[in-house]
Amino acid sequence: MSQEPAMKDGNPFGETDLIRKKMRAEAAARLLFGAMAVLMVIPLLSILLYLFYKGWPILSWQFIADVPRHNMKEGGIWPAILGTIYLIFFSLCASAPIGVLAGIYLNEFARDNWFNRAVNLAVLNLAGVPSIVYALFGVGAFVLAFGFGRSILAASLTLGIMNLPVTIAATKEALSAVPRSFREACWNMGATPWQTIRTIVLPNSLSGILTGVILSVCRAAGETAPILFTGAVFFKPIEGKGLFAYGLFDQCMALSYHLLTVSTQLQGVPEALLYGTALVLICIVLVFNSVAVSIRVYLRSHQRW
């Protein structure tokens, strides 16, 4: 006989005091976590609104599409925008394929021995290394040893190396989340390990892998130290050269470095220019993230589990 008390109206299938208590606890937990989510969004919205308010006097198409003039105190930021896009794109081209392939090997093929455990530990530790260390590595490896000089290629490869640990870790976690039963079913049907990974595991883990790519975009767009020593320049005229104004072995302007210089090295720069530049940088990051999130949502909606 059940020990759970029935409702006062005598209905044995109705809610009991215990069930109502659990439902109240669930509602309180839902309210708590919802409030935490709102508290996470409020600072971002506050920053965007504040930047928009302070930078509104200068925000215009001319500010986006023009080049800096009169010692950076007038004109626009188009060279810095274009340089930032170049750095993000080429750093992703360098880090995403290598990071994904390394994550696949470590999760699917590597044996559980001391060497591979050391490699996994090194990947996790490298994710917390300060960016200035990667900058010095980029100078020694890409600028000097490989002879790329201070260029977009050297800066992009430095950013790519810096983003590798995040991409590898995200890939491993996404692959680990795919149920092992999927693999076993493919193996029982005679599929090879690579066929299983290519046709089953990877398609069901792409949404998680894109999380690492999103984080890489954010970090590549906002870092200053790695590009400061490897490819960024205070000013580079590109007027009238369009979208292909920079070459791989050219130096380039970048929004993060541009914002640093105009806010610390120049006197008399309009306040609206500083806030407008910061707002554009954040908007570029949000655009790249929005595209990646849209792809991730689409892929997640087509998962088989």
* Tens of pLDDT, residues 172-194: 988 988 888 888 888 888 888 88
**Within a domain: 24:** no
Cβ–Cβ under 8 Å, residues 231 and 150: yes
Give the amino acid at 62: Q
Please count the structural domains in the chain: 1
Q: For a pLDDT cut of 70, what percent of the chain falls above it? A: 93
Contact in structure between 39 and 32 (CB atoms under 8 Å): no
- Residue 286 lies inside a defined structural domain of this protein: yes
3-state secondary structure of 226: helix
- Let me know if residue 6 belongs to a domain: no
Cα(48)–Cα(44) distance, rounded to whole angstroms? 6
Output the pTM of the full model: 0.83
* Whole-angstrom distance, CA of residue 98 vs CA of residue 121: 18
Q: Number of C-alpha atoms within 13 angstroms, CB side, residue 217? A: 21
Give the N- to C-terminal CA distance of the chain in Å, as an integer: 39
Q: Would you state the pLDDT for residue 145?
A: 93
E strand or H helix at 301, and its extent? helix 271-301
Which residues are CB-neighbours of 207 under 8 A, at least 6 positions away? 174, 296, 297, 299, 300, 303
Residue 253 burial by CB count (10 A; 0-12/13-18/19+): exposed, middle or buried? Answer: buried
Residue 23 lies in a domain: no
Per residue in 49-87, pLDDT (tens digit) is 998 999 888 888 888 888 888 888 888 889 999 999 999
Mean pLDDT over 85-112 rounds to 90
**Residue 211's Cα: distance from chain center in Å?**
7
Does residue 125 form part of some domain?
yes
Place of tokens 């500083």: 274
SS3 36: helix
Query: What domain range includes position 287?
Result: 76-301
Residue 207, in any domain of the structure? yes
Give the CATH number of the domain where residue 121 resides: 1.10.3720.10
Let me know if residue 126 belongs to a domain: yes
Token pair of 93, please?
């081209």
Q: How many CA atoms lie within 13 A of 94 on its CB side?
A: 23
Contacts of 56 (CB under 8 A, 6+ apart): 272
- Whose tokens are 């541009």? That residue is 258
pLDDT band at 198 (very low <50, low <70, confident <90, very high): confident
Asked, for residue 136, whether it belongs to a domain, the answer is: yes
**Mean pLDDT on 88-108:** 91
